[in-house]
Homo-oligomer: A and B are copies of this chain.
Amino acid sequence: MPGNTFGQYFRITTWGESHGPALGVVIDGCPPGLVLDEAVIQKTLDKRRPGKGGAAESPRKEPDQVKILSGIFEGHTTGTPILLIIRNQDAQSRAYDQLRDVFRPGHGDYTYWKKYGIRDHRGGGRASGRETAARVAAAAVAQVFLNTVGISVIAYTVALGKVKAQKRDLDAVKQNRLFCPDLKAAKKMEERITDVRSRGDSVGGIVEILATGVPPGLGEPVFDKLDAELAKGLMSIGAVKGVEIGAGFRAAELLGSENNDPLAPEGFLSNNSGGILAGISNGDYLVVRTAVKPIPSISKEQDTMTVSEKPVKLKVGGRHDASAIPRIVHVCEAMVRLVLTDHILRARALTPEIFGPKFF
């Protein structure tokens, strides 16, 4: 099976290259009867959109205007496939001419070449971060469904390089361009990005995703566990190099008596599990973190080689973000929405008396 599809029941297939005429997604398995229009999707998409001028961002200006071409009738989903399309408008492919025969370090240029024997060098082709616009659009539809069952997902920046958020003030998240839940740290992060960009470099960070209202029982043991699927979904985002749930890597240092979350009639008394036990949600908050690497396209000179394997020095031109953060925040949020939606549908199939309409 090829790899452009995600989800078993709420099933999305993304398509399109960074410098092709358009990109988009087909959603198959969306429940019928949901109220949906382009404005709802556009609103979510606008958050991820490039060209808003933040310190971290590429100057490429894409309106990212989404159109719904199928699956809707008189303002409601019908249960048939929903096709979303976004036209590319500001692709400046000429800027990539220097890259036709050169492999950029840290990029998929070399691996696509080795895998397929052919590659679209313009803007990263299919490996471009632009592909994630389709995921965010699909997840906006997923959220319409999640709203009907009371689940919320929010992602935020908890580290940019070595600058770390010291608190989780969710109200602060929307009050700064980096979606950091700590306004003081946010300020330092902005400064850090400006500094890094001025030196022609880039910087990584850590995103945390929090989901509330998740009922116990989601996740399909033993391989399609909720944490396994979250890990897959998040790791499938280009710049992500690590995923952890709850205490995550810190759990490796703990004793069982420290790490176990005591159960009480009023709920779990701590949340080292991150809301998942044995791969199934336990009703507590879902907490996941992803490690985001620095964007590889930098204007600093780097060693690399050409397609004919000759060494060469390269300064990457084109228009690039100085950090995948904050835009990747929305993509992480999107993947969690997609996973949760899919797993509710899967749970319903087996036990509608537990996960059917009565439940929520």
Contacts and interface: CB of A to CB of B under 8 A. Distances in A.
A162 interface: yes
Interface stretch (A44-52, A99-107, A169-177): A99-107
Contacts of A249: 206, 241-242, 244, 249, 291
Nearest to A127: B278
Contacts of A59: none
A33 B300 contact: no
A317 B288 CA distance: 32
Interface string A262-297: 111100010011101111111100000001111111
27 contacts: A2-B29, A3-B219, A3-B222, A4-B28, A4-B221, A5-B5, A5-B13, A13-B13, A13-B28, A20-B69, A22-B69, A80-B120, A105-B263, A108-B277, A111-B217, A111-B281, A112-B221, A115-B217, A201-B257, A203-B256, A223-B232, A241-B251, A244-B244, A247-B293, A251-B291, A255-B294, A256-B296
A36 B125 CA distance: 18
A243 to B, nearest CB: 6
Contacts of A269: 303
A255 B81 CA distance: 33
A27 B255 CA distance: 37
A326 interface: no
A215 B280 CA distance: 32
A277 to B, nearest CB: 5
Interface in A204-257: 204-206, 215-225, 227-236, 238, 241-257
Interface size class of A (residues with CB under 8 A): 35 or more
A116 B254 CA distance: 31
Contacts of A8: 1
A126 B222 contact: yes
A226 B232 CA distance: 10
Contacts of A347: 115
Contacts of A261: 105-106
Contact of A235 (B1, B161, B228): B228
B349 A79 contact: no
Interface string A288-320: 000111111110101111000111000000000
A209 to B, nearest CB: 14
A247 to B, nearest CB: 6
A353 to B, nearest CB: 5
A280 B111 contact: yes
A60 to B, nearest CB: 18
